[in-house]
């Protein structure tokens, strides 16, 4: 069963995993925590972007209400009939502002879903590659060691291969995160430029 609560940077930073028993395979805690820290940073940036969009939407709403109030006062001094064109224009402006906020929220939800899916794929692929590298390293060790073979040295060769493979996957993931961050920043800048002043 999946947990539907919203994930934020504090949740990622507070997450802890049980250590595997001695002699069992598992990821290095430092590497997991480093990746979690990067994900938390991305979530913090996402939350800041959402907060900025909410703030901008609220500013639009307040400006609209203020303008409506001024128009209402002006209309009351001139005549008791509201200008239907002004009311229609205001209504359209409010709908457009709400549409921008809804689009931004939907985009963020889709982006988060895609990021979660990609993270799972990257981790699974990294695990598979690390295991394949570990088995190849163990086979090479057995072939080279011959009669001098020891189970401890074979396991050491496996561990080293896993770590090297996982480090390569983390480096690739860092590059993908950097590209995603740049694309998101460009998208936010585009939305800000399109927003009415």
User: What single string gives the DSSP state of each residue in 132-180?
Assistant: HHHHHHHHHHHHHHGGG--HHHHHHHHHHHHHHHHHHHHHHHHHHHHHH
Query: If pLDDT is split at 50, 70 and 90, which confidence band does 4 have?
Result: low
d(Cα 195, Cα 103) in Å, to the nearest integer? 12
Is 174 part of a structural domain of the chain? yes
The reported pLDDT for the residue numbered 17 is 66
Between CA 157 and CA 78 the distance in angstroms is 88
Say what the pLDDT of residue 19 is: 67
The whole domain housing 134 covers 9-13+26-194
Distance, in Å, from the CA atom of 3 to the CA atom of 40, rounded to the nearest integer, reads: 18
pTM of the model: 0.41
Number of domains comprising the chain: 1
Position 116 in a domain: yes
Q: What is the pLDDT of residues 128-138, one digit of tens each?
A: 888 888 888 88
Do residues 175 and 183 make contact, with C-beta atoms less than 8 angstroms apart? no
Model confidence at 2: pLDDT above 60: no
Structure tokens that stand for 79 in this block: 């005549």
Q: Is residue 19 part of a domain?
A: no
- Is 196 a residue whose pLDDT tops 50? yes
pLDDT of 140 > 80? The answer is yes
**pLDDT for the residue numbered 158:** 87
Question: Is there a domain that residue 4 lies in?
Answer: no
In a domain, 20, yes or no: no
State how far the Cα of 122 lies from the Cα of 74, in Å rounded to an integer: 61
Decide if 135 is inside a domain. yes
Q: What is the distance, to the nearest Å, from the Cα of residue 30 to the centroid of all Cα atoms in its chain?
A: 20
Higher pLDDT residue, 43 or 7? 43
Does a structural domain hold residue 138? yes
- Which tens digits make up the pLDDT trace of 148-190? 888 898 888 888 888 888 788 778 778 877 887 888 788 778 7
Q: Is 103 within a domain? A: yes
Q: Where are the beta strands (DSSP E) in the chain?
A: none
């Amino acid at each position: 069963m999946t947990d539907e609560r919203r994930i934020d940077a504090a949740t990622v930073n507070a997450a802890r995993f049980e250590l595997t028993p001695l002699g069992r395979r598992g990821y290095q805690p430092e590497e997991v925590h480093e990746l979690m820290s990067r994900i938390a940073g991305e979530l913090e940036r996402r939350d800041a972007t959402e907060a900025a969009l909410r703030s901008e939407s609220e500013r639009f709403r307040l400006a609209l209400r203020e303008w409506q109030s001024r128009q209402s006062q002006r209309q009351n001094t001139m005549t008791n009939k509201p200008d239907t064109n002004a009311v229609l224009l205001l209504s359209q402006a409010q709908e457009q502002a709400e549409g921008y906020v809804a689009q931004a929220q939907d985009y963020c939800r889709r982006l988060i879903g895609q990021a979660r899916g990609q993270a799972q794929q990257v981790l699974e692929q990294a695990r598979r590659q690390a295991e394949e590298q570990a088995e190849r390293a163990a086979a090479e060790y057995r072939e080279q060691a011959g009669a001098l073979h020891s189970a401890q040295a074979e396991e050491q060769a496996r561990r080293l291969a896993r770590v090297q493979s996982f480090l390569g996957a983390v480096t690739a993931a860092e590059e993908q995160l950097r590209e995603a961050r740049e694309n998101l920043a460009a998208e936010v800048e585009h939305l800000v430029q399109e927003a009415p002043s």
